Structure 1
Amino acid sequence: MYFPIAGIEVSPWVPPLVAMAVSFVTSMGGVSGAFLLLPFQMSFLGYAAPSVSATNHLFNIVAIPSGVLRYLREGRMVWPLTWIVIAGTLPGVLIGAVIRVTWLPDADSFKLFAGAVLLYIGIKMVRDLTGRANGSAKAESERRFQELVRGHRGKTASGEPLPAVRTIAFNLRRTCYEFYGERHDVSTPGIFVLSFIVGIVGGTYGIGGGSIVAPFFVTVFGLPVYTVAGAALMGTFVTSVAGVAFYQFLARFHPEVAVGPDWMLGVLFGLGGMVGMYLGARCQKYVPAHIIKWMLAVIVLGTALKYGYGALFQQ
Structure 2
Amino acid sequence: MVTWILLFIIGLLAGTIGSLVGLGGGIIIVPVLLIIDQYTNWLSDLTPQKIVGSSIVVLVVIGLSSTLAYMKKKSVDYKSGALFFLGSGPGAILGAWLNKFIQVDYFSIYFGVFMVLVSILLMVRSRLRPMKLNGQFERTYTDPNGTEMNYNFSAVAAVIVSFIVGVISGLFGIGGGSLMVPAMILLFGFPTSVAVATSMFMIFLSSITGTLTHLALGNIQWFLLIGLIPGAWIGAKCGSFINQKLSDKSVVVILRWMLIIVGVRLIWQGTMG
Q: How does 1:1-315 map to 2 (within 5 A)?
A: 11-46=3-38, 49-100=48-99, 102-103=100-101, 117-129=111-123, 131=124, 133=126, 174-180=136-142, 181-249=148-216, 251=217, 260-266=219-225, 268-284=227-243, 285=245, 289=251, 292-293=254-255, 296=258, 299-311=261-273
Q: What CA RMSD, in Å, does the superposition of the two structures yield over aligned residues?
A: 3.3
CA distance in structure 2 between the partners assigned to 1:248 and 1:89 by the alignment? 20
CA distance in structure 1 between the partners assigned to 2:77 and 2:246 by the alignment? 27
Is the 8 Å Cα contact of residues 22 and 177 (structure 2) preserved in structure 1?
A: no
Q: Give TM-score scaled by structure 1 length.
A: 0.67
How many residues align? The count is 254
- What's the counterpart of residue 155 of structure 1? none
Q: Which has the higher helix share?
A: 2
Question: How many percent of aligned residue pairs carry the same amino acid?
Answer: 19
Q: In the TM superposition, what is the alpha-carbon distance from 1:115 to its structure 2 partner? A: 5.4
CA distance in structure 1 between the partners assigned to 2:85 and 2:66 by the alignment? 17
Q: In the TM superposition, what is the alpha-carbon distance from 1:85 to its structure 2 partner? A: 1.4
Q: In the TM superposition, what is the alpha-carbon distance from 1:188 to its structure 2 partner? A: 0.4
CA distance in structure 2 between the partners assigned to 1:134 and 1:11 by the alignment? 48
- Residues 22 and 78 of structure 1, relative CA distance in 2, 3 Å threshold: closer
Q: From the CA coordinates, give the structure whose radius of gyration is larger.
A: 1
2:115 maps to a residue whose letter is: I
CA distance in structure 1 between the partners assigned to 2:6 and 2:63 by the alignment? 20
Q: In the TM superposition, what is the alpha-carbon distance from 1:79 to its structure 2 partner? A: 2.3
Does the residue aligned with 1:281 lie in a helix, a strand or coil? helix
Q: In the TM superposition, what is the alpha-carbon distance from 1:126 to its structure 2 partner? A: 3.9
Q: In the TM superposition, what is the alpha-carbon distance from 1:81 to its structure 2 partner? A: 0.4
Q: In the TM superposition, what is the alpha-carbon distance from 1:69 to its structure 2 partner? A: 0.8
Q: Give TM-score scaled by structure 2 length.
A: 0.76
Does the residue aligned with 1:222 lie in a helix, a strand or coil? coil
Give ranges in structure 1 of 5+ residues lacking alignment.
Answer: 2-9, 138-172, 252-258
